[in-house]
Amino acid sequence: MRTPLIAANWKMNKTTEETRDFIIQFSPMVKDINNVEILIAPPFTSLAVAAKYLKGTGIKLGAQNVFYERSGAYTGEISPSMLKDCGCDYVIVGHSERRQYFHETDAIINKKLSAAQEVGLSVILCVGESLEQREEGKTFDVLKTQVSRGIEGAQPAMLVIAYEPVWAIGTGRTATPEQIQEAHGFIRNMLRETFKERADEIRILYGGSVNAENAHTILNIEDVDGALVGGASLKPDSFIKIIKAKGAMK
């Protein structure tokens, strides 16, 4: 039985003060939530303050990106061990915004995944097709390429996949339950081919305009093990509703 994971991707939002205020308000709301792992991924600049205020809450901390080298002359980059040092448990790699705006390829993403797992960080690998690719009937080809190249050499115990159709991110459009189940089922089969029975340890999250209103439907789809949430994770009130759509109370 996989523990559901509900993860907040704050993207380039929140100062250190806003991060602190969110956690002070949010953490009492989840103290009675059972059976759901909760993760917050703030910007790099808020990791230290988030680690301080998350201490003892059970809420996990993640980063939104990482570089694959251990140290050295890589101006502006952050290494996996620096994230560990800040108190991170997770890192997101391959988000579509990084693929699109920062030209990250599957090869780069795979190097990031390996380097992160090497220091004990769990990795959320994001995959998903663009609208154009879906309309051209290429969804499964895209998923096949992104998943197979992304997970090369990965350790299943420290791996989470997030299926995020690019056309559903930040647009208010969500995939239908049928589209989500079809994609998740496809990814699950791919994971089984690679990792055999260990594939059952890997959670597959859905991401793309998940909100308080649609969370219940999405999180109850058979092969959905949780959600990666952008916009609706920025306010404690909406994020908690998504968590409660999945979590049982103690």
Binding to ligand PEP by CB under 6 A, coded x per residue (else -) over 9-48, reads: x---------------------------------------
3-state secondary structure of 9: strand
| From 79, 117, 133, 209, residue interacting with ligand PEP (rule: CB under 6 A) | 209
Determine whether 17 is an active site residue. Answer: no
229 binds ligand PEP (CB under 6 A): yes
228 binds ligand PEP (CB under 6 A): yes
Integer Rg of the chain from CA: 17
164 binds ligand PEP (CB under 6 A): yes
Q: How far is the CB of 76 from ligand PEP (least distance, A)?
A: 22
Q: Looking at 37, 104, 129, 164, which residue is catalytic?
A: 164
Determine whether 103 is an active site residue. Answer: no
169 binds ligand PEP (CB under 6 A): yes
129 binds ligand PEP (CB under 6 A): no
Cα separation, 144 vs 126, in Å, equals 13
230 binds ligand PEP (CB under 6 A): yes
Cα separation, 248 vs 250, in Å, equals 7
3-state secondary structure 80-149: HHHHHHCCCCEEEECCHHHHHHCCCCHHHHHHHHHHHHHCCCEEEEEECCCHHHHHCCCHHHHHHHHHHH
Question: Do 94 and 127 touch, CB atoms closer than 8 A?
Answer: yes
Q: Which residue numbers are catalytic?
A: 95, 164
Site for ligand PEP, rule CB under 6 A: 9, 164, 169-170, 207-210, 228-232
